[in-house]
Structure 1
């Protein structure tokens, strides 16, 4: 895929020889894959009942609504960020630029 900026938008050629089409915006979706929290034993996932992943928390909040965690004695919640990012042993010694915003979003949903 090739794109060039012109005329206040983008001309995009999706395959060589197919010509170009004009678009107002281009969204680059790089994709991601959540890590398996069970591989990070030091955090207690799968061992301690109050340890969950952000994805699981979000799913529960969507299914059960704002009161999804009312049955648990949650006075303070800790978010551990950068799990899976900034891990040079796994070839990811960089910030994913997702964790911080995601944690703030989940905190607002819990409030």
Structure 2
């Protein structure tokens, strides 16, 4: 069984579509899929104001923990993220890289569990 939300929900949906009946999962729930994050955060003045606040907060957190994300092997574009003008810009530089790495780990765990 799997439960996922936000970007994880998108990844689980993609995994289930690709794996089809070959998945070891017997049930799955995807909550709050951000189908079009860019549209959702840039379509109205209200959302644009929220997007600016969220982006500023993400940049502050990154600035405080910068050393954890640095290094070419990690794949993060820290400088691009620190210059982000929107959550979408930040996501492309940090979060999406993190989710791709997480997805690789999840795929390995699924493969390992199917062999147990």
TM-score (norm 2): 0.25
Structure (1 or 2) with the greater helix fraction: 2
Comparing both structures, which one devotes a greater share of its residues to strand?
Answer: 1
Higher relative contact order (CA 8 A, sep 6+): 2
- Bigger radius of gyration: 1
